[in-house]
Structure 1
Amino acid sequence: MRFPTRTAPAPVLPGLRGTARVGRRVADLLPRLRPGDVVVLAQHDLDRSAAEALAAAGVSAVVHTGPLLSGRYPAQGPQVLADAGVVLVDGLGADATAAVPDGAAVRVHDGAVWLGEEPVARGRTVDAEVLAHETGEARRGLAHQLEVLTHTSAEFVRREQDLLLHGTGLPRLHTSLEGRTVVVVAPGRDHAQDLAGLRPFLREQDVVLVGVDTGADALVAAGLRPDVLVVGPDESDLPAAAAVRAARDLVVRAEPGTGTTAAERFEGLRTRPRRVQTAAGSVDVALLLADRQGASLVVGVGLDGRLEDLLDRQRAGTAGTFLTRLAVGHRLVDAAAVPHLYSGRVRPRHLLLVLVAGLLALAAAVATTPVGQEWTDHASTVLTDLAGRAYDSVAGALTATVDTVGDTARGLLP
């Protein structure tokens, strides 16, 4: 007689589990990411926007082939991920992208990536203490980054001086910007929150809404219609077709020397897209358009306003962004400052309340004078007489009605 045997349960292995997504750059991985994924990266010094995109995708861990902070400058991305509760591991080595199969079920534990019970890449866990120490050390590299920014700015001026100084190459828009307030919405830090804070201002002012790349999607999501749309050549930055259809003007930006742009897939939706070839970024083109076409005020939503933000981007267009801010600085206001500077338009109900309060104050003041006392006594007498007459009239009418009803009832009785 055979007795049934009980199979021992498989041991529960420690660590964080997820599906591995392997790539060199965040932009390449974003379309494939799902909540709980483990991202294996080789992109150095993650900036804030890339980290926010990873956090929004719901990844559980980010492991890096090299150091998360190279030491050149205090990149903001690692801190954004840490604040979002994402597990951070770095120093896996250059072979990690080949050692970790893309799409495999992996574990992250004790600074290593495991396949089953075998570690395939080892590094170190980056906790809050390590991150704070290395961020402080990286701040020493800011001086060098400023020197690099100075050099690249001089080179940018040499190549794009006609655009910066004279607006050469900028298209003419159907939408009139002359003397109007222009609100430029870009996909940046707290752009949705800043846009929500602008609602009273947008409702009460005659503004021109300019959406930059996926910033146009934020406008549509807020129930607003972009008047002008500026898009760049990067396919991942293009807005949804609904935003393109809503805009009256579409400006497509291309890098110098290139004949096509990713935005050409929208040409069937617009009659004549306006083109501009420049090394400046899409946000810079939007700001220069507003400045050169006579906007009275430019409100920036989601723009990089701080020096640390500019350095954190580490893109070729950083110098253009810096110089554009200088060129448009006399018109440019950050959206976060508008609620502090603008209290709203005076409404009719406000005037009515002031009028009523003034009349009550005037009546109280007059009532304390001898003439006012005489007027008050006379008014009291008149009001009492009117009330008495009204009472007599109503009482007489009610009595007559009752008598009529009574006579009618008696006439109906046998």
Structure 2
Amino acid sequence: MRLPTLRLPGRRGDREVAADTIVGTVKLDRRTKRLAARINPGQIAVINHMDIDRVAADSLVAAEVAAVVNAKPSISGRYPNLGPEVLVNAGIAVIDNVGEEIFDEVREGSELRIVDGDVYSGETLVASGQRYDAESVAAAMADAREGLSVQLEAFAANTMEYLKRERELLLDGVGIPDVDTEFAGRHCLIVVRGYDYKEDLEVLRPYIREFKPVLVGVDGGADALVEAGYTPDMIVGDMDSASDDVLRCGAEIVVHAYSDGRAPGLPRVEKLGVPAKTFPAAATSEDIAMLMADEKGATMIVAVGTHATLVEFLDKGRAGMASTFLTRLRVGGKLVDAKGVSRLYKQNVPVSAMVLLVLSAVAAMAAAIGVSTVGQAFLEVVADWWDGLIFQIQRLFS
């Protein structure tokens, strides 16, 4: 059966395309978070992301992409990752596992046309894969849950391996650099651009205003702080997602390096002319931020957007997340996780409270008018006006 057609004016003349066809310019990048930062609404994202996690999916939804074409499997079946479900529920088409050859076949800025699972450049078929919908995502997630036991065993093994390699860092703080930022005796707010970070930051405004914590942005979390109207005191990470302007904001920079001392993000910072220190560790950037705050004497560590649950550890999809589990054990009672606080606490004022507030204000104004000299004179004028109005009405009917 021939699908209904719609007209797309202004694209090299009017032409007819199938109603479920997606047409748009393309942007390509093998790093999803890097692509999400530069793609425009309505464009088609071509990525190379095995097991799309929720954070990556949220960034693509926020960018308002028209479709996601993934060179790798979006759900490999290793574990039930959350990203594809987020994309599909947001109405974004996901064309899955088309092969890495698409990066050679497609030029950035060109126009692509997606029909079902086929990707066309002009009239040429350049890639083909599975087009996910809600049902196929649910089925793939159900299959992936069967592999959870294997992933749990791998996670436990990674945790033990990390403990062997980094026990001196975890237990004694060995390797943590000397920093200029003063943590001792203060609260520390660590922001990662993760789950619900915008909403939680908004709810934490009164806390930030009252306690004035040390503000630490982890990579793109530094941009999140600036977008919320704050200036970070420190930026920690591998510097692949913090913007140039934010890196120049005056915050102290700590570049996350590999255990062997290599720091791929350091040349970028040096090119910007910004002084930086390095922190070699096998942990994730959010972990070294927590370990640093703890070692330097912060009395409380409030985390926004970080990973806290087993599902989130697995959803991140990398062995390094084992360090997060151990870091949370190390930091212990100092850590307060702000995750989801925006859902627990809403700053909405009930209608009944608003009515009571208005009535209280009216009562206060009436009392003030009644006891003041000016108020009494005003009431006498109003009384005379009312008496005159009543007299005129009586004359009309007499």
How does the TM-score come out when normalised to structure 2?
A: 0.75
Distance change (3 Å), C-alpha of 1:120 and 1:172: closer
- Select 2:139's aligned residue among 126, 133, 144: 133
Q: Check the 8 A contact 1:171/1:275 in 2, yes or no.
A: yes
> In structure 2, what residue type is equivalent to 1:73?
Y
Aligned to 2:280: 277
CA offsets per residue over residues 348-398 of structure 1, 9 Å max, x none? xxxxxxxxxxxxxxxxxxxxxxxxxxxxxxxxxxxxxxx9xxxxxxxxxxx
Distance 1:230 1:25 in 2: 20
Q: How far has the Cα of 1:62 moved from its partner?
A: 1.4
Distance 1:229 1:70 in 2: 34
> In structure 2, what residue type is equivalent to 1:109?
V
2:323 aligned with 1:320, yes or no? yes
Aligned to 1:300: 303
How do residues 393-404 of structure 1 correspond to structure 2 at under 5 angstroms?
none
Aligned to 1:241: 245
Other structure's SS at 1:113 match: strand
2:154 aligned with 1:148, yes or no? yes
Q: Check the 8 A contact 2:222/2:235 in 1, yes or no.
A: yes
Aligned to 2:164: 158
CA offsets per residue over residues 12-65 of structure 1, 9 Å max, x none? 122110123345442564465333222333421111222223223332111234
> In structure 2, what residue type is equivalent to 1:13?
V
Q: How far has the Cα of 1:119 moved from its partner?
A: 3.5
Other structure's SS at 1:131 match: helix
Aligned to 2:185: 179
Q: Check the 8 A contact 1:244/1:266 in 2, yes or no.
A: no
> In structure 1, what residue type is equivalent to 2:135?
E
Q: How far has the Cα of 1:271 moved from its partner?
A: 7.6
Distance 1:220 1:174 in 2: 21
Q: How far has the Cα of 1:181 moved from its partner?
A: 1.4
Distance change (3 Å), C-alpha of 1:221 and 1:288: same
> In structure 1, what residue type is equivalent to 2:279?
V
Distance 2:62 2:109 in 1: 20
Distance 1:109 1:115 in 2: 11
Q: Check the 8 A contact 1:40/1:65 in 2, yes or no.
A: yes
How many residues align structurally? Answer: 333
Distance change (3 Å), C-alpha of 1:110 and 1:144: same
Distance change (3 Å), C-alpha of 1:289 and 1:93: closer
Aligned to 1:372: none
Distance change (3 Å), C-alpha of 1:274 and 1:81: same
Q: Which runs of 5+ in 1 are unaligned?
A: 1-8, 344-386, 388-414
Distance change (3 Å), C-alpha of 1:241 and 1:143: same
2:46 aligned with 1:40, yes or no? yes
Question: Which stretches of structure 1, 4 residues or longer, exceed 6 Å deviation after superposition?
Answer: 268-271, 337-343
How does the TM-score come out when normalised to structure 1?
A: 0.72
Distance 1:55 1:342 in 2: 25
Other structure's SS at 1:160 match: helix
Other structure's SS at 2:75 match: coil
Q: How far has the Cα of 1:163 moved from its partner?
A: 0.6
Distance 1:116 1:18 in 2: 11
Aligned to 1:13: 17
Aligned to 1:352: none
Distance change (3 Å), C-alpha of 1:223 and 1:20: closer
Q: How far has the Cα of 1:198 moved from its partner?
A: 0.5
> In structure 2, what residue type is equivalent to 1:216?
A
CA offsets per residue over residues 246-266 of structure 1, 9 Å max, x none? 32x322221122444423443
Other structure's SS at 2:336 match: strand
Q: Which runs of 5+ in 2 are unaligned?
A: 1-12, 347-372, 374-398
Aligned to 1:310: 313
2:87 aligned with 1:84, yes or no? no
Distance 2:151 2:315 in 1: 10
